[in-house]
Amino acid sequence: TVTYAGWMSGYGYTVRIDHGNGYYTLYGHLSGYAVWEGDEVNQGQTIGYVGTTALLETALGDHVHFAVTCDGKSVDPEDFFDLA
Tens digit of pLDDT for each residue in 3-52? 999 999 989 999 999 999 999 999 999 999 999 999 999 999 999 999 98
Residue 83 in this model has a pLDDT that exceeds 70: no
Burial class of residue 29 in the structure, from the number of CB atoms within 10 Å of its CB (0-12 exposed, 13-18 middle, 19+ buried): buried
- Contact assessment for residue 64 and residue 28, using Cβ atoms and an 8 Å cutoff: yes
The pLDDT of residue 59: 65
Residue 57 in this model has a pLDDT that exceeds 90: no
Global pTM reads: 0.89
**How many other CB atoms are there within 10 angstroms of residue 54's CB atom?**
20
CA–CA separation, 32 vs 48, rounded Å?
A: 6
